[in-house]
Structures are given as C-alpha cells and as structure tokens.
Structure 1
Amino acid sequence: MAKKVDVWILSLILSGVVTLALCLTTVWLNIEQVNMGYALKELQVSVNKKKAHTARLQLERDNLLSPYRLKKEAARLGMQAAQVGQIRRMPDKPIKD
C-alpha cells in the first residue's frame, strides 16, 4: 500500500513538473511572438521609409531629366543644337583589326 502511495505521489509530482514546463514553454512562445511582432513592425517602418526615399529620388531624377529643364539649363550654359556635320555616327560594333 505504501508503494502505491509513493507511485501516486511520484506521478503527481511528475505531472506537476510537466505542467509547469508546458506553462513556461507557452509563456516563452508568447514572449517570442511579441518580440517577432515588434521586429516585424520595425522592418515594415524601414521598408516604408526606403520606399518613400526611392519615390523622392525617382521624382528628383525625373525632374532633373525633364526636357523642359534640360532645355532651360542648356540655354543658361549657352549651349545650342548641333549644326549639320558636327555629329558623327560611330558603328555599333567595335572595329576589329
């Protein structure tokens, strides 16, 4: 009879330890989930900043390469259209010796 009580107490202690381990594992997983959520939010903010920066750079590039602005800048620098004979056409492929 004492042996049955000892087995019962041992199984009760073992089930308590297993339950505690499962509870701690659940808490740890929840903490990891929250940490991953924060990391994901930081990455989303970083991606959004980079997308906004890319959009600003593309807008600036488009502005700098606009025909109106290039014409205005060329006039400011005293440039004019090339005269006949000033432009030379080069072959697309390099000439082999």
Structure 2
Amino acid sequence: MSDLLDNMRETFDARLSAHERMLTHLSLAPTEEEAPLVFHELRATLLACGSCKCPGYCVDWQKQGQEGPPPWCHNRNSFLELETACNALKTQQPRIQSAT
C-alpha cells in the first residue's frame, strides 16, 4: 500500500510541477489581488494539469524553448484563456476614486 501512495504522490507532484513550470513558461504570475479576478481560469489550468497523463511532455516542450503551451496539449485552451484573462487585467485602467 505504501508503494501505491508514494507513486500517487510522485505522480501528483510531477503534474503540479509541470503546471507551475507552464505558468512560469508563459510568464503568468497573478498577484494576490489579481488571483481572485482570474480564479476560474487559474482553477481550470490546475484541474487540467492535475488529470494530465503526460506532464513530462510539457516539461520537455518548455526546455526546448518553444513558445506558448504545446499545440497537442489537451489543456492548451485553459492556459490560453488564463493568459487572455491575465493580459486583460494588465491593460485595464486603474479606477480613479473620487474624493468625498
């Protein structure tokens, strides 16, 4: 049983590492203030990577210096939607609060 649990943990760690590496690869680093605004997109990427059957392929893709998420990745759209949401946050004009 211990081997099974160790294997499950190692697999999960590999998937989580691939997710974090893809966020870095795409230069996506929402701040604490931004994260709630892109929660659904961020969650979708985490769930997608959490069920990925081949996280090593994404890591290899990143090491090759390829641009964006891999075109063959089933989770590609999740990352593209997160990228779009994060970019939209960066282009929004700050709100001007009126003095009362």
User: TM-score, normalized by length of structure 1?
Assistant: 0.31
Of structures 1 and 2, the one scoring higher in RCO (CA 8 A, sep 6+) is: 2
User: TM-score, normalized by length of structure 2?
Assistant: 0.30
- Of Structure 1 and Structure 2, the greater helix share is in 1
Structure possessing the higher radius of gyration over alpha carbons: 1
